[in-house]
Structures are given as C-alpha cells and as structure tokens.
Chains A and B, each alone.
Chain A
C-alpha cells in the first residue's frame, strides 16, 4: 500500500481533489521488485544541493534503461522531486524523463496521467509547461483506445492553447493533431474548462479550433497548426473544405516552413475535394478545386526557398485529376494568359503568343516591341501553372530538378498527350550537368516510352548520350532504346550507327548493345526491311566478302536484322548464303538474342524449327500441362520403394530439367520440382540401403554413402528454401519436412556410428527443438501433412521428449520408413535466383600482375536475377589456388537495379597474396548467404527488447552460403617486391 499512500500525499500536496476513479485503476499493484533503482535515484536527488547537481544526476540516470516493473516507483520519486524543485531546468528535465519513462514497454502509463495534468495546473514556467505537454502527448499516443484519458488530454490542450508562449501553443496543437477527434465535437465542459477564454460559442470542433491558429503571430505556431491538421488527416479524419482559402493564403507566408506545410495542406485538400468548384478571385468565374490548387502549387515551384520548391515539384506529380489543359500549360512558358482568359478564349490566346510577342532569345532583335497587344490578357506572373516544369527543370538545385523530372514522369504516365509534350524537355535533361539528373531522366523516359515515338532530332540528342563515359548512363540508355519507338528508317540507321560507335569505344558494353538491338529490330521490322541490303552490305550482282563472324559489330547488325526478320517473312530473301550460315551459328551460340526464323528452302532448319517452336513460342500452356502431368504422375506413387517408382522419378527429374531449359518461363518451377524430387529420391535410396539391417560394426563403410546422401539432401533443401522466390508457406513447410527427415537420418547414423550417449543426447535435443520450431512455424499448414513424417513425429512428441536417446533413434527409424512422401503443390510463379558474372570473362591469357603483399583491384560485373534483398545476401567469394578463400561483402551502393527482378552488381574486389613463382588462376564466384533464422517467415527482425522465446533461438539458426554463379577463373601473378 505504500505506493497508494504516497499517491494520497501528492494529491493533498497539489491540493487538487481527485476523482474516485483512481482507486479503480487495476494496475495499482504493489511491486517492490527492484527498489534499488528508484531508491538510488531518490538518494541521489536528495543529496543534490544545488540544481546543477540534480540536473547532473538526472542526466546520468536518463542514460540507463529502466525495467518496466520499477518504472512506476521511479516516476513517483521524480514527481516528488518535481514538486519540491524550484529550478526550471531541473523540472524540465524531470518532465522530459517522465515522457521517456512512459514509453517503456509494459508500463501502463495511464496511471501517471493525473499527476502530469496536476503538475500542469501548478506550473508557471512556459518551457516546463511545453515539456509537460510533450510528456502528455507521449502518454496519449501510448493509450490510443482510452477515450476518457484522451478526452481529458484534449481538454487540457484546449485550455493551454491561449498561452502566450509559442512552445506551449505548439505542443497543444501537436497534441490536438495527434489525439483530437472530429466525430465528437468538443463538449461544453471544454469551453467552461477553458475558463475565461473568449470562446463562448457553443460547440467547437478540433478542426476549427486548429484552423484559428493558422493566423497566429508566430510562424512556428502556424506551422504546428498546419501540421496538426495534416496529422488529423493522416489519422483518417475528414478535413473541411472551408480551410482551403486559409491554406492558400498561407502559401505566401514569409516563413519557409509555413509555406512548406501549407503546400502539403493545399495538396491534401485538392486530393480530398478535387471536383468542388471554387471562384477565381477578381472575376466571377469558377474552376475545379484541383485545377486551382494545381495552379497554386505550380506557382510554388518558383518559390524563394528550395525546400519548398522540392516539395511543390514532388507533389505536382501526384495530382492526376488535374485537367489536361492546365497540365499542358506547365510546359509552356510563353503562354501567359491567366486562367480566366485561357478558359474563355483559349485559341485566340494561343495565336496571340504564337505571333511572337515575346522573343525566344534565339534570334537577334526579334524582341523589338511590335504593336501593343491587349494587355488585359497578358499576365506575366499570376498565370498559375504556366511554365512550372520549365522552371523546375532549370532550377539551380539538382534536388528540385530531380523532383520535377519524377513528377513529369508520373504525370506523363497518366496522360498520353502530356507525355508527348514533355518529351522535348526530358530529352533536354539528358544534357544536365549532374549525372544523377541525367540518369533519372533517362529512366523516366524509359518508363513513359510506351506513350511516345521519338523523332529524328530527338533521337539524335538521345543518342549523343551514348558517348557518355559513365557506364550507368550508357546502360540506362540501352535500356531506354529497348523500349523506344522510332519513326523513320533513318532513325534506325542512326541508332545502329551510334550503337556501333559505342561498341567500338566501350567494348564492355557488348551484351547490353546486342540486347538493345534485338529489341530495336523486333520492334521495327518494317523500318529495318528497306535498309537490310545496306546493313548486310549485299549487292544485287556482285558477291561481297564474307564478314568476320567474330566481329562484335557484325554480330550486332545480324542481331538487329534477324530480330526484324522474325516478323517480316520477306526479309530472308535478301540474305546472302553466308548470312544463313551465320544465322545457324548465332542461333546456337546466342540463342537468347537470335530468334527462330522460318527460313525458306532450308528443310532441316525448318523441321527443327517446328519442333522448337512447338515448345518455344506458342505453347506455354502445354508446357504447363506437361509439368502438372509429371507431378500428378509422381504423386500417384504411393510407395517409392517399389522398383519401378525410382525409375519413374529419375525420368521425371530428367524431363523436368529439360523442360526448364526449353521453356524459360517455367524454368524456376521445373527446377524447383526436379530438385525436390531428387531429394525424395535420395532419401528413398538412403533408406533402402542395407545398412539398417546390418549389425552396427559392419556398417561403417556403407555409412559413408548414406551420410553423403543426407548431407546432399540438406544442402538441396537449403537451396530449395532460399534460392527460389515466390514460394508460399506450404512449400516451405514441405521443404522443412524433408529437411527434418534428412536430419533424422543423420541422427540415426550418428547414433549408430558413435559410441557414448552424451554426444547423441545433444544431437537428440537439437532435433527435438527443430521439430518444435517446425510445429510453431507451420501450425496452420499441418492439415496438409497427413501421414507425413512430421505429422507422425508430432503425434509421438510427448513420448519422444520423455524417452531415452536410443529409443528415440529407434522410433525415428521406423517412422522414417513408414512415412509417405509429401507431394508438392506448385505455386503460381517460382523464380530461381541466378547470377552471371559478365566480367572478368575468364578468357584472358595475360595474368594480372601486381606486387605481392599489396592489393590489386579486380573489377567484377555481374547480373543477378530474382535475388531477394541482394544488398545483404549476395557475397563475392575468391578462391586462391592454395585453398584459401575470402568472402567479400559488396557495398550496398554497388548494386543497381536496371529493371524489375534484375540487379546489376558492379564492384571491385581487392586481391592480395604473397609471391608466387608462376601465374595461377584464382576463382571468383558469387554466393548467396542465408541463415535459417531469417527465413521468410520470421524475416522481420525482432526488436531488441522483445522476448526471444517465441522465436527459434539463435543457436538453432544455420548460417550458410549457396553458390549462385559459375566460378570464373582469373589469371593472377603476384610478383615479389623489388628491393
């Protein structure tokens, strides 16, 4: 009861009568578990003779964490000192500590609400008041569902809103924003509670209360008011349209933070009430609110502060409902009619300005004043949307430019005509001085490229960027060209020419350039057709020399032509003989770039083509059916130990692998199934070994075979789990089931081969833990596991935990043999993570020489596909000839994402070694790191203080790596340093 008594004392001290409700608060349990903390604090504070000392104690106290149980005690002590303390800074610190403490997990903060509110009533210092309100805010956010408490807090906030200190008003508004409710208007008591406050009007809701402070004299309070309003909006309250005018006025505030918040406010309103009609000032016409606000936000793109400019430019991108003619004005700087005029005499206005009243600055003296135009219509500044993007794209700060480019992108995606209009501007951005902006505009152009066709002059500008020395830019541009439509055959020629130039200048771009030409050809067969003879340099009468087949440039041309020929059957007639030969060669060596062609008069190619096309193009469905059929066939097998069953499995695995090769869309699924089946096969085979019937001493030799099999199964299960994306819980559970089986097998083997119960005991315990964690993770999936190993195991679980290790082994052995294999159900789409190292190619015969002991940097360029979270999982492994291996973690910045599901890793690996006498090859490969604790089910990291008992403990998590790519050999030669 001590705490209770203490509380009473405080109440009397503060001379505020408390309601009886306090007694009912259930959390008033007497807990003196850790008296040390509060007691120590108490003693410290008592010792403090002057405020500085007390502050020091509090500061050092604040650094240490406090357990949930002792929080309440500490709070009491703090409050006690709060009342005694006369120094403002100490009280301030105590107030802030209260807020901190009430954030502690597991502490019911509602019990200190009353105290905090009481202290508010007696507090004189403004700063401390503000801090106390902040504390209340923290408490309030902790208790979102206690309406009574919230209501009290809101009342307090309303009461203090009339404070003369800006900080207090700020905090009050913040509190209202975070906790206020709109559905319930503030009751009458609020107003009487507000005392002599001027508000005698009957019912006021939070919104109008907050909007009163839009005109506060302090800019910080104005900002806080807008932010509170935005906060209310975020919490799902409906904001009235009536504040639109106020918000618009705030756009011309003197302070940038107010303007910045106001821009957001206007944007929010435009999203809420896009279709309502607002009047245009100084005229009797009206426009849609979204158009009006669009014009206003456009205006902010030329604001004095770049923070506001960035914000305005960003928000513009999300205003999709705006009318098209307003949208198009944003790109037109010369059109200077105001909104009104634009609506009434759109065409006339356009003519007026097209007649050249304002000069473009391109020709001398074209700005000599001509006859005066109707000046009432010409409006240089208040024309809203006019030229907003032109300004944004020319801005001094690249942040603004990037924001503008992004906004352009998102607006262009929703409007085709706008996309065409903004094309010139985006193309111009390719010349920006900052690479980031250039890159961004290339990306944006790619994203909207479905809407547009490039003209020759535009293409010219675009292609000029191909000479850029930055690899990122070039590749982004290749990517862009893949998706671009061009208008004339000259464009194709131009593009080819520039790409070839690029190829000769930067040979490393080979793959990217070829791929680019593949799409270019496939997109424009009719444009390629007339230039084929020229491209292949054929002549109607004369034979021309056969080009060199290894020339990347020639291959590039062929890729273009062949891809065009795919949908243009007349084209092959123009080919010369060697072209057909080259086709056959390339079709085989670069099959991903060269499509199948129906070539006339080439029987054998044609027939193989039919076969290929049977699987290749038209029949994704049939391939899918085939996959399903094979799975059904396998699932029909009841017992894998029957003689024919294993053969069937083997054939199915072979079929599936082949299917994966033929049908790239299904490669992931097919591989996945094949691997799974292989696991089953291995397991069955392992179980069929004779060793189970043999006496223990005899089985050592056999043992080796089985234990390799088990290890293989384990490896494969990790691959299954982590290498494939798109898996669902059920599949993961199935994989885990197989893994458990493998582990059981391993356990049995250990038990049979090892003497001594102790070691087995440990393994047994571990195994049981695994089973438990399986149960925990896949509780919902258990119905699918009838008759399976796991199910049987779980049934036996009570017995297992009780019995001795040797009994356990016996039980496991029988269960293993009895259990049925689970049949795999395929999810929609499975992708196998894969990686290819493009560079180093491993073909070089020239060793990389460097002085031993020093480092040499090896450039690595690889593409990753379908790798989840590559920044953390992908590693580079370097294997030296002496068996040493290094694992290198690439920097997050080395990963680029050129497209969905694809990641490009361009990094440098530092090598070093002591001197060798001969050049030797090292192996470089990519690894996928995994840890079972971060498996897909528990991928969210637990907070540090969350209890760990619900999750698999760290020791049971297994960390490992999977080979992600083929190794590449690099010739290196460390030389001894010369003395």
Chain B
C-alpha cells in the first residue's frame, strides 16, 4: 500500500528548529529549516546527517519549503543549503523571501561578530542561498515537477506566513507552519479550504490554552503600559524584530494618538527600519483595515515611534522601548534589561513565548537572581508581565482549522509533549481521526488509499446510465460491469465485448446448473405449470415463458422438471443460467428450494 512518511528533524514534541521531512508518493520534501534559540552548540541546527551521512542533500530532497521568516523556521537554511549542500528549489512567499535574509544576516552578526564563533555561514552564503529561492503567491499552484505540486494559503501569524499544501497525485499533506486563527491589529486570520488532506501537520504551541478575547488582552496591555509611564517608569518590550513588534507598534501608536501621550516610544534601529519598509510594501498581506486605509495613510508610517539609540537607555523619565530579540537571550533587549532590571518602577512585558533556557523563560518563572556571563549575578527588581500576544492558534483555533480542512490524519509538531498529549486526545475524540505526535527523528507512517483514475469508455457509461435510476449521484458509489484493461501504463474500463475484440479472444459462455429436489405429488407437467404460475406471481416484471417442450424460461434461465421412476413424488428441478444472470439464477434456486405454494 502507498504511504506517507513524516519525520521531524526538529520541532517534534519541541518548540524550535522546525524541520520536518515528508515522503509522499516517492517525493521527499523538507518543511522548514529552522534553528533552536535555546542552544549555542550543534544542537541548534537540525541533524541533517539523518538524511545522508556524507555528501550533498540535493539528490535526496525534491524541494524545501519555508513557511515564514522566523528564525526557528528558517535559521538553518544557509547552513543546510551552502554548508551541507543543497541545490534544489527552496519555496517561500514573497514577503518571506524579502525579510528572511535580513533576519539571517542579523543572526549571523550576533553569532559571529559578537560571540566570535567560527565555522558559521557567511553573508555570501546567505546571498547564495537566497538565489535558490522560488517565490510563491497565495493560492497559486506551483508544479515542482510533473507530479509534485504545492500551494500556499494565508496563515496570519506574521507577514508572509503561509500554510502549504503538498500534493502528489491524489495524496496530499498540509503543513501549517505557525498560524493564527484570530485576526490581530495588522494581520488577518488563517484560512484554508476543505482540501481534505491525508495528513495535516499542525503546530501546537498553545495546545492547552483557550485565550480570552484579544480585546481584553489589548486593553490590559495598554493599561499596564500607560500606568507605568504615568508613574515615570520605563517599559521594555522584548520582541522579535518582525511580527508581534509591528502589531504592538500599531496598538501603541493609535493609543498614544488617542490619549495624547508624550512619553517617547523607541524601536531598536537598523533591522527594524528595513523591516517596517517591507511591511509598508506588502500591504496586501495585512488585514482588512490596513488594506482599506493605506491609501489615506499607511498604518506602518508611525508618528510617535522613533528610532532607538543605545545612549537613550540611560535617559531619565518614562519611555517605552521595543528591543530585539524577544526571548531576552542576547542582543539589545538583554543589554537594556540589564540596565533597567534594578529599578522596581520599570517593567518588562514579555509578549510571547519563551523557550526554555533563555533569560525570558527564567524571569517569567519568577527567578529573582540571574547568573550572567563572568559569574556576575543580576537582581531582578522590575515588574515582569506576560501578555500572550503570540500569534499562534489556541486549542480552539487548532480545532477550527481541522474542521476547515477535514484531514484524514493529524500530526502535531512544534509544541511541548505534555500539552500535545492533551490536544491529541481531544482531536481523536472529537473528529475520530488518528493523531500522531512523533518525537525528533521518529518516523510516522500513514497508509493512504489513493484513488486510481481509470478511463471509462463512453459507450459503457451511456449504457450504464440508460440502465439505472434517474440521475447519477456523485456521492453514492455504484457498481457496474466492465473489463479493466491495464496496458501501456494506462488503465481503461471498457465493456466486455470491446475488451474481447481488442484482445482478440473468443467469448466463453459460462453456465451454472443446479438441481433442486422437491416433493410434489403431481405429475411432471403439472409441477412445471405450477412452477410457471408461481414464478409468474412472484416475478411480475420479468418475461416468463412456458415453452411447449417442457421447459420454463425466465429471461435466459431454463427450468426443467424430471422425476425418477422409483420415486415419482420426488421431483428434480433443473435450473440452468448463464454467468450474466447469476443474481436472478441464485434467487430462483433459493425460491424454488423453499417449495411451491400448495
């Protein structure tokens, strides 16, 4: 039986370094190629030696698809394509293609220039890698080769995030990447049609969460920021350069405008300005409001938000600073955090998920003393707030997507094992479909039942139509007689006569004969005529003939009655029918076995 194999190299019962291998219909596809934030050693990249021990990956992979530009989904891409070696096509949407290299370059700078790592990919490698990228449009079906086709759907989450449908013949897999089912201030909600894939590979970051209405969250966030600023405190919001940052910017910008606040809002520079530029350009990927109003004013042209300079962090008075990265594990956000952590008037708002091992994760779990490099410790006095602004679908959102797509199997990745377990139970119970949650390196095999297309001869089809009921009903299967010819790699269904003709064979008649013994005191001819009247009364719409030579013919079935001399009461009824009339014949034999009505 054909099957689909799914093997997560990363993100299996884990968050970070998403990398999933799918083998479908003889094609191998890599979905995402991310890095792990929590590690600084080899573990940060997926283990590509799983695919091949030595040599390049090109011959083992048909294509690579990147769902969106977050580093845990594309961070390992240059490493894979340039250092391990892959020359095939890499698919991503236009915004992802535009923004991805900026983030990779930023990542590279931090790792190589700041931490001084060697044996890391270079700027040139990022550029080379980007040359292999083929851009995708939403809902555009792209033929990777003759059999493999992929199609992108809108996923919300961040600008340019996409869900991908991968299809070979009638087998298909949908990979969601990260997605969001509730729209936010700048992006719409994920949407997919009823494509009924064999497997839906879904993220499950918030498998056990059902979030409050986003409006409550927004209000809480604004209130917290406003209160701190009025107190004269500083607010640090660690964000990833792109995505949540823009949403929060729009939120704060409109709030500042409405409330006429004067405290400065800063956004860490460089990266962000470039990124904001792309947000202005890819207006079609944003939500309804921004799409409709950008003619009057592009919402991403901020009035109150200014670029941040390192020296501003020491300025007195209130301020709000957005700084990267979002998990406080390195870079500017960590520097500012160190400066402000000592003052209880200040506040840090973590707007998203934090991977284990990062500073963000630690302070959220209530650690008051942090160990820094060089054995220094840092007292955390400032308020730590957590606002779930992460644009991932919650449990209800995941269920909603399943309902939309109606998959045959479910596979969960990108989440914590315990939480997945819960969701898995729910899915199996609600939809009664099987749900899998493989760990990294573990292969899930799903047997598919692909439909095989067969050409049917028009004559046969018309004949069938003439026979049967009022209208063909697409939803009801119907049985028909025909001959399947498999020839020259093609399948055809033709009428038996045509098949015989084509193959140059003679038709053989196949007749079944059956004897039914019956106790009947009458003479043979009487018995026969009684059979005749009996059948006549039972089978009203059939042609029944009583032929003078002592036989009854029902359609093509011949019925004779004989009796031996010694036992004149025991009549042997001889039934003979051809193969085509099998149904009627067996019916008659059982009917006669029951005996005749007296």
> Contact mask B363-398 → A, CB, 8 Å, 1/0?
011000000000000000000001110000011100
| Cα A397 to Cα B183 with chains together (Å) | 9
Inter-chain contact B259/A467, CB cutoff 8 Å:
yes
Whether a CB of chain A sits under 8 angstroms from the CB of B507 is no
Query: Is residue B287 contacting chain A, with contact meaning CB distance below 8 A?
Result: yes
CA distance A890 to B289 in the complex (A): 28
> Roughly how many angstroms separate A393 CA and B216 CA in the complex, as a whole number?
12
Contact with A along B162-196 (1 / 0, CB 8 A): 00000000000000000000110100110111100
Residues of A within 8 A of B211 (CB): 359-361
Query: CB-defined interface of A102-116 with B at 8 Å, one 1/0 digit per residue?
Result: 000000000000000
Tell me if A431 and B214 are in contact (CB < 8 A). Answer: no
* Chain A positions 363 through 390: 1 when the CB is less than 8 Å from some CB of chain B, otherwise 0: 1110101001001101111100001001
20 contacting pairs across A/B (C-beta < 8 A): A216-B471, A304-B194, A358-B210, A362-B220, A362-B386, A362-B387, A364-B365, A365-B365, A369-B419, A375-B425, A379-B430, A380-B426, A381-B396, A381-B403, A393-B215, A397-B288, A398-B289, A428-B213, A433-B289, A461-B219
Check B547 for interface membership: any CB of A closer than 8 A: no
Cross-chain contact of A362 among B185, B208, B217, B430 (Cβ < 8 A):
B217
* Known contacts A334-B210, A428-B215, then 20 further A-B pairs from the complex at CB < 8 Å, ordered by chain A residue: A164-B471, A197-B470, A254-B194, A304-B192, A358-B209, A358-B210, A358-B395, A359-B209, A359-B210, A361-B206, A361-B211, A361-B394, A362-B388, A365-B365, A367-B208, A369-B208, A396-B183, A396-B288, A429-B215, A464-B259
Query: Given the interface contacts A359-B208, A364-B386, does A467 sit within 8 Å of B258 by beta carbon?
Result: yes
Partner of B215 from the list A164, A362, A394, A395 (CB cut-off 8 Å) is A394
User: Is A277 an interface residue, CB under 8 A from the partner?
Assistant: no
Give CA–CA (A363, B429) in the complex, Å: 29
Residue in A162, A304, A361, A382 whose CB lies within 8 Å of B217: A361
Distance of A434 Cα from B254 Cα, bound (Å): 12
> Is B215 in contact with A198, judged by CB distance below 8 angstroms?
no
Binds A, one of B98-106, B114-122, B434-442, B472-480: B472-480
Does any Cβ of B come within 8 Å of A333's Cβ? yes
A-B contact count (CB 8 A): 128
Interface residue from A215, A376, A382, A429 paired with B475 (Cβ < 8 Å):
A215
How distant is the Cα of A866 from the Cα of B159 in the complex, in angstroms? 51
Contact B470 A394 (CB under 8 A): no
* CB atoms of A425 and B209 under 8 A apart: no
In the complex, what residues of A have CB within 8 A of residue B396's CB?
333, 380-381, 387
Interface string of B305-322 (1 = CB under 8 A from A): 000000000000000000
Closest residue of A by beta carbon distance from B401:
A304
A549 to chain B minimum Cβ distance, whole angstroms, is 29
B contact set with A: CB distance below 8 Å: 182-183, 185, 188-189, 191-194, 206, 208-220, 254, 258-260, 287-289, 350, 364-365, 386-388, 394-396, 399-400, 402-404, 418-419, 421-422, 425-426, 429-430, 469-475
> Is A642 among interface residues, defined by CB-CB distance under 8 A?
no
Residues of B within 8 A of A217 (CB): 471-475
Cβ A395 vs Cβ B183 within 8 A:
yes
CB distance from A867 to the nearest CB of B (A): 33
Decide if A275 is an interface residue (CB 8 Å cutoff): no
Residue ID in chain B nearest A395 by CB atoms: B183
Whole-angstrom CA separation of A398 from B289 in the bound complex: 8
How far, in angstroms, from A197 to B101 measured CA to CA in the complex? 67
Whether A431 contacts B215 in the complex (CB less than 8 A), given A358-B208, A394-B182, A396-B188, comes out as yes
Nearest to A398 among chain B residues (CB) is B288
- Closest B residue by C-beta to A299: B403
A647 within 8 A of B: no
Q: A360-B212, A367-B209, A396-B188 are in contact. Are A215 and B473 (CB under 8 A)?
A: yes
The docked-state distance in angstroms from the alpha carbon of A846 to that of B398 is: 64
Determine which residue in B216, B387, B469, B471 has the highest number of CB atoms from chain A within 10 A of its CB, and name it.
Answer: B471
Docked-complex contact A333 and B400, CB < 8 angstroms: no
CA distance A443 to B219 in the complex (A): 21
Q: Is the CB of A431 within 8 A of B219?
A: yes
Question: Chain A 454-482 against B: per-residue CB contact (8 Å), 1 yes, 0 no?
Answer: 00000001001001110000000000000
**Cβ distance A37 to chain B, nearest Cβ, rounded Å:** 44
The smallest beta-carbon distance between A890 and chain B, in angstroms, is 23
What's the Cα separation between A359 and B205 when bound, in Å? 13
Given the complex, which residues of B lie within 8 Å of A425, measured CB to CB?
213
A746 within 8 Å of B by Cβ? no
Do B473 and A380 have beta carbons less than 8 Å apart? no
Contacts of A378 in B (CB 8 A): 426
Q: Is the CB of B386 within 8 A of A363?
A: yes
Nearest CB to that of A380 among chain B residues? B399
For chain A, the bracket of interface size reads 35 or more
Q: Is the CB of A260 closer than 8 A to any CB of chain B?
A: no
Query: Are the C-beta atoms of A302 and B400 separated by less than 8 Å?
Result: yes
Q: Which residues of chain B are near A469, meaning CB under 8 Å? A: 258
A394 and B214 form a contact (CB under 8 A): yes
Q: Could you say which of A197, A396, A425 has the most chain B C-beta atoms within 10 Å of its C-beta?
A: A396
Q: Does A74 contact B (CB under 8 A)?
A: no
List the 3 closest A-B pairs by CB distance, nearest first: A361-B388, A396-B183, A364-B386
Question: Are the CB atoms of A396 and B399 closer together than 8 Å?
Answer: no
Cα of A394 to Cα of B287 in the assembled complex, Å: 13
* Pairwise interchain contact B185-A433, C-beta atoms closer than 8 A: yes
Contact A162 B386 (CB under 8 A): no
Q: Which of B193, B395, B396, B470 has the most CB of A within 10 A?
A: B396
Decide yes or no whether A586 CB sits under 8 A from chain B: no
Q: Shortest Cβ distance from A490 into chain B, in angstroms? A: 17
Contacts of A467 in B (CB 8 A): 258-260
Q: Smallest CB-CB separation from B402: which chain A residue? A: A381
Bound-state Cα–Cα, A399 to B386, Å: 32
- A369: chain B residues at CB < 8 Å are 208, 418-419, 421-422
Residue A336 lies at the interface, judged by CB distance under 8 Å to chain B:
yes
CA distance A461 to B402 in the complex (A): 36
Within the complex, the shortest CB–CB distance from B474 to chain A, in Å, comes to: 4
Asked whether, in the complex, the Cβ of B475 is within 8 Å of the Cβ of A361, the reply is: no
The smallest beta-carbon distance between A380 and chain B, in angstroms, is 5
Indicate if the CB atoms of B395 and A380 lie closer than 8 Å: yes
Q: Mark interface residues in A418-445 (1 if CB within 8 Å of B CB, else 0).
A: 0000000100110111100000000000
Give the docked Cα–Cα distance between A363 and B192 (Å): 31
B63 to chain A, nearest CB (A): 28
> How far does the alpha carbon of A379 sit from the alpha carbon of B399 in the complex, in Å?
10
A205 vs chain B, min Cβ distance (A): 18
> Chain A 294-329, CB within 8 Å of chain B: the 1/0 string?
000000001010000000000000000000000000
Which chain B residues border A164 with CB–CB below 8 Å? 471
Interchain CB contact under 8 A, B210 and A333 = yes
Residues in A whose Cβ lies below 8 Å from that of B287? 396
- A428 with B216: CB separation less than 8 A: yes
Compute how far the CA of A255 lies from the CA of B413 in the bound complex, rounded to whole angstroms. Answer: 30
Question: Does A362 lie within 8 Å of B212, measured CB to CB?
Answer: yes
**Minimal beta-carbon separation of A931 from chain B (angstroms):** 39
Closest to B388 in A: A361
What residues of A have a CB within 8 angstroms of the CB of B209 in the complex? Answer: 358-359, 361, 367
Give the Cβ gap from A110 to chain B, nearest Cβ, in Å: 32
Which chain A residues in 188-216 approach chain B with CB under 8 Å? 197-198, 215-216
> In the assembly, what is the distance between CA of A783 and CA of B523, in Å?
104
A462-519, CB < 8 A from B: 464, 467-469
Chain B, Cβ-Cβ closest to A217: B474
A827 CB, min distance to chain B CBs, angstroms: 48
In the complex, A215 Cα to B403 Cα: how many Å?
21
Q: Are B400 and A381 interface neighbours, CB within 8 A?
A: yes
A467 to B259, CA, bound (A): 7
Given contacts A217-B474, A359-B209, A396-B288, contact A382 B430 (CB under 8 A): yes
Per the bound structure, the CA–CA distance linking A359 and B213 in Å amounts to 12
Min distance, Cβ A619 to any Cβ of chain B, angstroms:
48
Most A CB contacts (10 A, CB to CB) among B189, B210, B218, B259 go to B210
Q: Contact between A375 and B429 (Cβ–Cβ < 8 Å)?
A: yes
CB neighbours (8 Å) of A429 from chain B are 215
CB distance from A459 to the nearest CB of B (A): 14
Question: Could you tell me the distance between the alpha carbons of A57 and B208 in the complex, rounded to whole angstroms?
Answer: 69
